[in-house]
Structure 1
Amino acid sequence: MIRKTLTLATMTAITAVFAGQAFAAEWNVSLWGKKRAFTEHVEKLAELVSEKTNGEFTLNLSYGGLSKNRENLDGISIGAFEMAQFCAGYHADKNPSITVLELPFLGVDSLEKEIAVSMAIYQHPATKGDLARWNATLLMPSPLPQYNIAGVGEPPKTLKDFEGLTVRATGGIGKAMASVGAVPTSMSASEVRQALDSGVVKAVAFAPHAHMSFGTVETANWWTTNLNPGTVNCPVVVNTDALEALSEEHREALLGSVDEALKHYVDNYNGKTMDAWGPVLSEKGIESVTYDQSELDAFRDAVAGPAAQAWIEDNAKRGLPAQELYDLTVKTISEN
């Protein structure tokens, strides 16, 4: 009887100890490439979560060790890891709702505006349902500035000069380039340098950080300063089951750190990354190609409307409220 009483007392004491605190949690996060401006918010998130939970909740960031970047959403769906980053244009059929954010010439002119419109779409019930098919919950965007193109060979001085040019360009940017006669090719960022060096593509559409991180500036001899056809949308998602299994304390530490992580990302990109971009171009002797506003206006007018209409029609057939998502996108951009 005494032994039983002691056992019960011990169990009661243990229960009391753990009642007020969360058990340790460890999440694996699938990224790719290397630590760079594109992953600064995830790096900051890991730091903040650990700080807020006194190390009880940790995010282990893996750069390519867990999955290929085009398979990150699949990995999330089966619980192979708890968090991942991916780009919508890698597999538009798997996440059609967020591809509205990759339409060309939407008029997003700042990282802050990109965050606002992304979060508006992420929070729409149709988008949540779309990603729920993969057991995924959208956590935050990876806001990127407008893409421009760096390439080799004779620089395209006019938009007509893009005819026949092979360009690594995904999503809406690829459609925009096709409209001026270029030949868009989709490939992951980590494959781009080899493709450019070997002649598989002659040009690459990237944001500035990626041109530096993935080495296109080592090969390119020209880049476009003001083409600005659009950008890509690359969210960070979490496995929904893993999110729901977190203690209230750990879940609050994660979700409550998103805004600060995004602020750090924007400050870093607008400062450190863009401060480095100009000097890199000068150092490498890369020629700047700037287009007349009349050409750009004609480019936008020819591409933006038809691309948006095609997106709406295609995704309405999928059962998405496509017009509503597009209208929300336009409205949010105009208000921010």
Structure 2
Amino acid sequence: MKKLLSGAAACALSVAFVSEAAATEWNASVWGKRRAFTEHVEKIAELVSEKTDGEFTINVSYGGLSKNRENLDGISIGAFEMAQFCAGYHADKNRAITVLELPFLGVSNLEEEVAVSKAVYDHPAVAKEMAQWNAKMLMTSPMPQYNLVGTGDPRTTLEDFDGMRVRATGGLGKAFEAVGAVPTSVTATEAYNAMESGVVDTVAFAQHAHLSFGTINKADWWTANLNPGTVNCPVVVNIDAYEMLSDEEREALDSSVDEALDHYLANYAELLERWDTVLEEKGVEKVEFTPEVIAEFKAKAADPAREAWIKDMEAQGIPGQELYDLVIETLEKEQASN
């Protein structure tokens, strides 16, 4: 009997060990704290676990695995399996997707941002460039058009932007530079301190970031309709880790992307509905630019930035014109369907 029990116990332990060994656990590196910007990462982790009965789990880490500017490097060496990053943090590492950060592209809502991002992410030039970092595009982190919060007197004309110290990365930084501002690319987590210490006068963020990183608490005013552009922040996975997934696990991950993005969009819509109330509660003045000022800004920033970007990309062997045309064609198609 003892021998039989020992054998049964050994068998149970063996089954338990195999079961444990078969489970897949990923780590996802993001930053800051849980907020609208990370809701799709949280949702996809939840969906993957549900679809695999807990056999495939994704642990979301807020800054515990890597600095936000180093997430792509971490993916490249397999330090973690999933990560979120923003193209403007290291434009030289992800040149092709910076087309999505060009100023005044004409994207008017988050659904359109999702559509143009998907189209660009699916382009072979993007897949090839990301593969150099052992990264595969999974999904975007759609954000509204950025706007400024600032201290002191409101800036209502382009002349007011001359000498303005602004936290703005990538194409947005170049757009503000085109009208005389002085951009700095401090990270999102550094923006509040930069504003508090006077390193910058203004900060360009989407609404959720102004809330999450506290810049709205230092603001005297907010530009409600400048809408110069946004940043593009993909979620990527390590190619080796992705290919090591079982067919069932890979299907669970891939099939959850659209649902995770739908959750993100619904959550962000609720935040946007509350935004005016937030401004009122914090005593932040809403600045509305005239159509003439916006047109002047666009003329000075959009055309030169686009032409310079295309020329620069083509010189580096990246199909800049093709990528830009893809964005515009996708946007026109999306807007026509709505």
Bucket of the pairwise TM-score, normalised by the shorter protein:
over 0.9
Q: State the 1:140 CA deviation.
A: 0.1
Equivalent position of 1:313 in the other structure: 311
Equivalent position of 1:172 in the other structure: 171
Aligned counterparts of 2:297 and 2:197: Cα–Cα separation in 1:
30
Q: State the 1:276 CA deviation.
A: 2.3
AA aligned to 1:68 is: K
AA aligned to 1:287 is: E
* Partners of 1:22 and 1:247 within 8 A in 2: no
Equivalent position of 1:303 in the other structure: 301
Q: State the 1:298 CA deviation.
A: 1.7
Equivalent position of 1:4 in the other structure: none
Greater alpha carbon shift after TM alignment, 289-298 vs 248-257? 289-298
RMSD: 1.8
Q: Does 2:168 correspond to 1:157? A: no
Query: Aligned residues, how many?
Result: 322
Equivalent position of 2:48 in the other structure: 49
TM-score (norm 2): 0.93
AA aligned to 1:141 is: T
% identical equivalent positions? 63
Secondary structure of 1:301 counterpart: helix
Aligned counterparts of 2:173 and 2:275: Cα–Cα separation in 1:
24
AA aligned to 1:261 is: A
Q: Does 2:276 correspond to 1:278? A: yes
Equivalent position of 2:142 in the other structure: 143
* Partners of 1:192 and 1:214 within 8 A in 2: yes
Q: How does 1:100-111 map to 2 (within 5 A)?
A: 100-111=99-110
Secondary structure of 1:84 counterpart: strand
For residues 95-137 of structure 1, the C-alpha deviation after alignment (integer angstroms, 9 at most, x for no partner) is: 0000000000000001111001001000000100010000000
Q: State the 1:23 CA deviation.
A: 2.1
AA aligned to 1:242 is: A
Equivalent position of 1:184 in the other structure: 183
Equivalent position of 1:93 in the other structure: 92
Secondary structure of 1:139 counterpart: strand
TM-score (norm 1): 0.93
Structure 1 moving runs of 4+ over 3 Å: none
Aligned counterparts of 2:298 and 2:157: Cα–Cα separation in 1:
14
Q: State the 1:277 CA deviation.
A: 1.3
Q: How does 1:245-260 map to 2 (within 5 A)?
A: 245-260=244-259
For residues 243-274 of structure 1, the C-alpha deviation after alignment (integer angstroms, 9 at most, x for no partner) is: 00000000100011000000000011012x11
Listed as ranges, the gaps of 5+ residues in structure 2 are 1-6
Q: State the 1:242 CA deviation.
A: 0.2
Change (3 A) 1:22 1:118: farther
AA aligned to 1:311 is: W
Q: State the 1:22 CA deviation.
A: 9.6
Listed as ranges, the gaps of 5+ residues in structure 1 are 1-6
* Partners of 1:22 and 1:249 within 8 A in 2: no
